Chain A
Amino acid sequence: MPRKQSSTWDHPTGLRLVGRYALLVVIVIAVLFPVYTTVVSAFKPSDKFLINPLVPDAFTFDVMREAWSSGRLGRYLVNSTIVAVVITVAQVVTSLLSGYAFAYLRFPGRRVVFLAFLATLLVPLEATLFVNFETVEDGLTLPLVGVTIPFGGLNSFQALTVPFLATAFGTFLVRQALLDLPGDLRDAARIDGIGHIGFIRHVGVPLVRPTLAALALFSFLSSWNQYLWPSLIINEADRNTVQSGLRLLSKSNLDAPNLVMAGTVIAAMPILIALVIFQKQLVRGLTAGAVKG
């Protein structure tokens, strides 16, 4: 052991060190146990996965292949990617616009409108989806003008994305990040004749990039993980996202859980890989919500 042997307040040594490692290992095994059984069963042939379910004593790629093609997991991954990318890009753009307006523009009622934005954060998704179902199915008829705005109907990509194109959370994050920039910055740019749009593009975006990255990751993850909304509005198999697709796979293969587990492995892969790459931004995105609740 190259580490110095004296026991300091946060460097356990000797028996305490062994004890701590033992505890950590036991907990890791417990935490990863469901993942382990899932992976083992996904790669065992259908007639063997229930015999010694914890032992990887047989290997086949057939079940994974079946989940990908007849289980349509490939299709669902594409759908989910499109939906999540559209929502993420839209949320970043709309948040940047509204966050900038609240941070730098002087207009009457700014405080009240901002509070109204924040108030929407108090409304849980579950309280609105019921009516939103009706809205995307029939379109929304504006009172007085009598014009109906269509939202694509059930089973459409519009319906999967439109309700989530903007968030008060993103607006709040961007506004906060812009207000944390030195105040002279905007004044200096103004004196140099740089307009609002130019300021956003050349000064704002580069300086609040970490916030935007965190917001983007947060938006992507939450739209990717949506379960209730796609389950409600999608009933054509090919239009499912990964989550509602897994639901369909599970409900229609109750007697073939290894096929479902293969689908689960495929569904979890992209996010697992993305999170390993974007670990830092993820922590920032999650804590951004915690610092100012």
Chain B
Amino acid sequence: MAVVAEVGKRSWSWRDLWLAIVMLFPSAAVLGVFIVYPLGRAIVLGQQRCNSFGTQCVSNGFDQYVDLFLSTEFQGALESTAILALITVPLGLILGVGLAVLADKHLRGIGFFRTAFSSTIATSVAVASLMWLFLLQPSVGALANIDWFISIFPTVKNPGLLQDPRTALPAVAMSSVWAGLGFTFILVTASLQSVPRELHEAAAVDGASGTVRFWKITVPLLAPTLLFVIIVLTTRAFQTFGEIDLLTNGGPRPGNSTTTVTYFVYGESSVIASDPGLQAGGAVLLFVILLLLSALQLRGLGRRVDLGG
């Protein structure tokens, strides 16, 4: 009840310390047990080699990380993930920004279009992937049973976009872009609304065309949001699991053209599925890669972006 006075030079009080420990304990315990501890344990596990039953693991030295990273399987997963990111990030960004700019006008019924463009945010990975699975399946899928469609695109029926090693990854990417569209659209739309309309008005009065205004006003003011979207979309590409698990199982086999890094670590039909040492190692490598990517993106783009202090 008493007023807590600043005692001497000390900038803290015992009462606050005890209270802080009590208030921080629940969060600290959860974060400690389920984020800090597992990361440490994964780093230890990642240098162990196990027998074929996944038991009796012994240390194999930290070289195992290097070996794993350089293995053809991991390099393949890295390549698939990079290709996936190179499709989903630019396409997701362009579509999201394009739709947001298109819908940011005083048109009648624009609310309907905005709701429609945002709607894919309501779909989970499983829902979105299964919708696309039904669209793309070669025998019991929707597109494969439309005669005029398969006469134009016969590969949809034979062998099927998800069954052809050349088209499987782009097809997964389409599903991923679609599922992420609502998220990007909502973010960019919200950010567009914070662009002062007077800026556009003044520029328009001075005779700047729509294109000029887009590049000279909209894009610079949107930069922090765009950077955020790029980071989220890239991270998502590296975390892609559900799409692969439901659409391709990392295949088509033979081959692993859609085995992403996350699927490589956790996938049921991954080559390391029963090797805890290598799985933990893969999880740690995934963490390091994502850390480096975010740092790179913040560094490279950060200079040109006003991060708002």
Seen from chain A, the residues whose Cβ lies within 8 Å of a Cβ on chain B are: 3, 8-12, 17, 20-21, 23-24, 27-28, 31-32, 34-35, 37-38, 41, 50-54, 93-95, 97-98, 100-101, 105-108, 110, 113, 117, 120, 122-132, 135, 140, 162-168, 171, 190-191, 193, 195-196, 224-225, 227-228, 231-232, 242-243, 246-247, 250, 254-257, 260-261, 264, 267-268, 271-272, 275-276, 279, 282-283, 286-287, 289-293
- Let me know if B105 is at the binding interface, CB within 8 A: yes
**Other CB < 8 Å A-B pairs besides A126-B286, A167-B27, A168-B27, 6 of them?**
A124-B239, A162-B30, A225-B125, A246-B130, A250-B246, A267-B126
B145 interface neighbour in A32, A51, A120, A268, Cβ under 8 Å: A51
User: Looking at B39, B229, B238, which has the most chain A CB atoms within 10 Å of its CB?
Assistant: B39
Q: Which one of A8, A228, A268 lies within 8 Å of B241 (CB-CB)?
A: A228
- What are the residues of chain A within 8 A of B21 when measuring CB–CB? 107
Q: A54-B146, A261-B134 are in contact. Are A126 and B31 (CB under 8 A)?
A: no
B interface with A by C-beta (< 8 Å): 1, 3-4, 11-13, 16-17, 19-21, 23-24, 26-31, 33-39, 41-42, 45, 99, 102-103, 105-108, 113, 115-128, 130-135, 137, 140-143, 145-146, 178, 181, 183, 186-187, 190-191, 197, 200-201, 204-205, 224-225, 227-229, 231, 235, 238-239, 241-242, 245-246, 262, 265-266, 276, 279-280, 283-284, 286-287, 290-291, 294, 307-308
Q: Which residue of B lies closest to A271 (CB)?
A: B122
Contacts A32-B119, A53-B142, A275-B121 given: A127-B133 contact, CB under 8 Å?
Answer: no
Q: Quick check: B30 and A94 within 8 Å, CB to CB?
A: yes
Decide: B190 and A127 in contact? CB cutoff 8 A. no
Q: Determine the residue in chain A with the shortest Cβ distance to B281.
A: A130
Tell me the bound Cα distance from A51 to B184 in angstroms.
Answer: 35
Which residues of A have CB within 8 Å of B235? 124
A-B contact pairs, 22 of them (CB 8 A): A10-B197, A27-B102, A34-B128, A37-B135, A37-B142, A50-B145, A93-B26, A101-B19, A105-B23, A120-B36, A123-B287, A124-B290, A126-B283, A127-B284, A129-B283, A131-B283, A232-B266, A261-B134, A264-B130, A272-B119, A283-B190, A293-B307
Q: Contacts of B29 on A, CB cut-off 8 Å?
A: 166
Q: A98-B27, A127-B42, A290-B228 are in contact. Are A21 and B119 (CB under 8 A)?
A: no
- Closest 4 pairs (CB-CB, A-B): A9-B204, A131-B38, A127-B287, A166-B30
Structural contact, B126 and A246, CB atoms closer than 8 A: yes
A residues less than 8 Å from B178 (CB atoms): 31, 34
Main secondary structure of the interface of A (DSSP, over half): helix
With A107-B12, A260-B134 already in contact, the answer to whether A267 and B127 are too (CB < 8 A) is: yes
A120 contacts B124, C-beta separation under 8 Å:
no
Residues from chain A with Cβ under 8 Å of B120 in the complex? 31
Min CB–CB distance A205 → chain B (angstroms): 14
Q: Which of B20, B35, B204, B228 contacts A101 (CB 8 A)?
A: B20
**Is A34 a contact partner of B135 (Cβ separation < 8 A)?**
yes
Q: Could you say which residues of chain A place their CB within 8 Å of the CB of B99?
A: 27
Contact present for B130 and A250 (CB under 8 Å): yes
Instruction: Select from chain B the residue with minimum beta-carbon distance to A269.
Output: B122
Q: Tell me which residues across on chain A come within 8 A of B239, comparing CB atoms.
A: 124-126
Tell me which residues across on chain A come within 8 A of B262, comparing CB atoms.
Answer: 126, 228
Instruction: Output the least CB separation between A242 and chain B (Å).
Output: 8
Q: How far is the CB of B296 from chain A (nearest CB, A)?
A: 14
Q: B115 to chain A: which residues have CB within 8 Å?
A: 276
List the B side residues contacting A261 at CB < 8 Å.
130-131, 134
- In the complex, what distance in Å separates the CA atom of A110 from the CA atom of B187? 33
A97/B23 in contact, CB under 8 A: yes
Collect the chain B residues with CB atoms within 8 Å of residue A53's CB: 142-143, 145-146
Q: Is the CB of B186 within 8 A of A105?
A: no
A231 touches B245 (CB 8 A): yes
User: Do A257 and B41 touch across chains, with their CB atoms under 8 A apart?
Assistant: no
- Distance in angstroms between the alpha carbons of A166 and B34 in the assembled complex: 10
Q: Is the CB of A257 within 8 A of B134?
A: yes
Give the shortest distance, in Å, between B53 (CB) and chain A (any CB): 15
**A45–chain B nearest beta-carbon distance, Å:** 15
Chain B neighbourhood of A287, CB < 8 A: 187, 190-191
**Is B102 a contact of A128 with CB atoms below 8 Å?**
no
